[in-house]
Amino acid sequence: MIIGVPREIKIGEKRVSMTPSLCRRVTQLGAKVIMENNAGLTAGFTDAEYKAAGATFTASADKVWKSADMIVKVKEPLEAEYSRMQQGQTIFTYLHLAAGPVLAKQLCKKGILGIAYETVEGADGSFPLLKPMSQVAGRLAIQLGAYFLQSQYGGSGVLLGGIPGTMPGHVVVIGAGNSGAHSVQMAVGVGARVTVLDLDTRKLEALDTEYRGRVVTLMSNPANIEHAVADADLLVGAVLIPAAKAPIVVSAKMVAQMRPGSVIVDIAIDQGGCIETIHATSHEKPVYQSHGVNHYAVPNMPALVGRTSTMGLTQATEPYLAMMVQKGVERALADHKGLAKGVNTRGGRIVYDEVAKAVGFDRA
Ligand SMILES: NC(=O)c1ccc[n+]([C@@H]2O[C@H](COP(=O)([O-])OP(=O)(O)OC[C@H]3O[C@@H](n4cnc5c(N)ncnc54)[C@H](O)[C@@H]3O)[C@@H](O)[C@H]2O)c1
């Protein structure tokens, strides 16, 4: 099997889909790895390290795509990459097709076997390849929120932890899964007041037990959301309905009730966002103001910490990639139900129901 690793081209992206150590593992298992020059540099890995681990290099992204049976990436293919995709090729990466109908159509047109990191399932129904990046995004949401609360960015000038004698900032997190729970952990760490809402009582119970009174847990319903949002200095959107477009849980009217200069970080933007007033931003211009509130909605937040994120992502993808190299892709998919759940497109069709529903079609 020839594995192609192109350089990521999304704005501000610093991650790479393979570390030298993962490269060594798959080459030892018999794969050939062809990489684009400097593909790992932004994550701190030099071409020399990959060469020592068995990779070959080219300056041409086209050549990487053309030579490979399987492209292993981080972010979904962008428009500039559509023409590079080879008929029938396997692509193993984040796809987020529910928010990407144009890409979904392109993958169908090219008959791509699209295996999406975000829908690969663990035996317990969890999403092991989403988890590490959600953990990163959840933790980053608090430090980014704290930053954009500062006055020079149009923020309200609230210090999340406050100081003795002042009221700490109020962090409200909607969604208590991987990203939300890590936002809660960081928010508690900086000394903020913290409220977290979810539909899943088990998630709320776990946080209640862990933080023993330091965190208010609330059932996610419109009344509780409205009440909590109105008092939030920093609102974090962290909900997920697997593979579907994110539900809007905070209306424009609720945003309008927030104090001027408060901040929203909508982590769920890669699935369309869960705040009515949100639209995607980029690392170049991460924030805009709407209703007097700073909105941050970068779909690839983990790129801000490319090194940590690359290590976290690849330690999760390694067992799946190794399995596909050892057995071949089709055998691996047949043997491993959780990996098979990652298949979003195959043979010109969208084969993941929630994705087909979200984009409104199931073939090109
Ligand atoms: N922007 C980024 O850079 C970035 C990075 C990583 C992950 N993400 C995204 O963050 C989102 C969350 O991912 P995750 O791993 O934390 O998911 P998760 O499945 O671990 O958690 C999602 C939580 O949302 C809850 N939920 C669903 N509907 C809800 C509702 N109406 N109200 C309250 N809670 C609700 C679920 O019960 C669950 O606990 C996903 O869209 C993921 O793709 C974005």
CB atoms under 10 Å from CB of 205, counted, come to 12
Residue 188: closest CA among 158, 208, 218, 164: 208
> How much is the pLDDT for 242?
83
> How much is the pLDDT for 269?
96
270 is catalytic: yes
CB atoms under 10 Å from CB of 102, counted, come to 11
> How much is the pLDDT for 111?
98
Calpha distance 215→23 (Å, rounded): 42
Same domain, 169 and 55: no
Answer whether residue 364 is part of any domain. no
> How much is the pLDDT for 276?
98
Cβ atoms of 15 and 309 within 8 Å: the answer is: yes
Q: What is the pLDDT of residues 56-94, one digit of tens each?
A: 999 999 999 999 999 999 999 999 999 999 999 999 999
Ligand 1 closest atom vs CA 242:
19
336 is catalytic: no
Calpha distance 328→38 (Å, rounded): 28
Decide: 220 in ligand 1 pocket, CB within 6 A: yes
Ligand 1 closest atom vs CA 180:
16
Same domain, 149 and 241: yes
Same domain, 284 and 155: yes
Decide: 178 in ligand 1 pocket, CB within 6 A: yes
Cα distances from 342 to residues 72, 95, 97, 238, 288, in angstroms, run: 14, 10, 12, 21, 34
**How many whole angstroms from 6 Cα to the centroid of ligand 1?**
28
Rounded to an integer, what is the distance from CA 8 to the centroid of its chain?
A: 15
Same domain, 96 and 158: no
Given a cut of 70, the residues of the chain with pLDDT beneath it are none
**How many whole angstroms from 263 Cα to the centroid of ligand 1?**
18
Q: How many CA atoms lie within 13 A of 196 on its CB side?
A: 34
Q: What range defines the domain where residue 187 resides?
A: 131-299
Calpha distance 362→353 (Å, rounded): 8
Listed residues 299, 324, 339: the one ending a domain: 299
Same domain, 147 and 291: yes
Same domain, 238 and 170: yes
> How much is the pLDDT for 328?
98
Same domain, 34 and 160: no
Integer-rounded Cα Rg, in Å, for the chain is 21
Same domain, 313 and 246: no
Answer whether residue 125 is part of any domain. no
Among the options 182, 270, 295, 336, which is catalytic? 270
Same domain, 30 and 57: yes
Q: What is the pLDDT of residues 116-171, one digit of tens each?
A: 999 999 999 999 999 999 999 999 999 999 999 999 999 999 999 999 999 999 99
> How much is the pLDDT for 294?
98
Same domain, 191 and 265: yes
Q: DSSP letters of 286-340?
A: -EEEETTEEEE--TTGGGGGHHHHHHHHHHHHHHHHHHHHHH-HHHHHHH-HHHH
Cβ atoms of 62 and 85 within 8 Å: the answer is: no
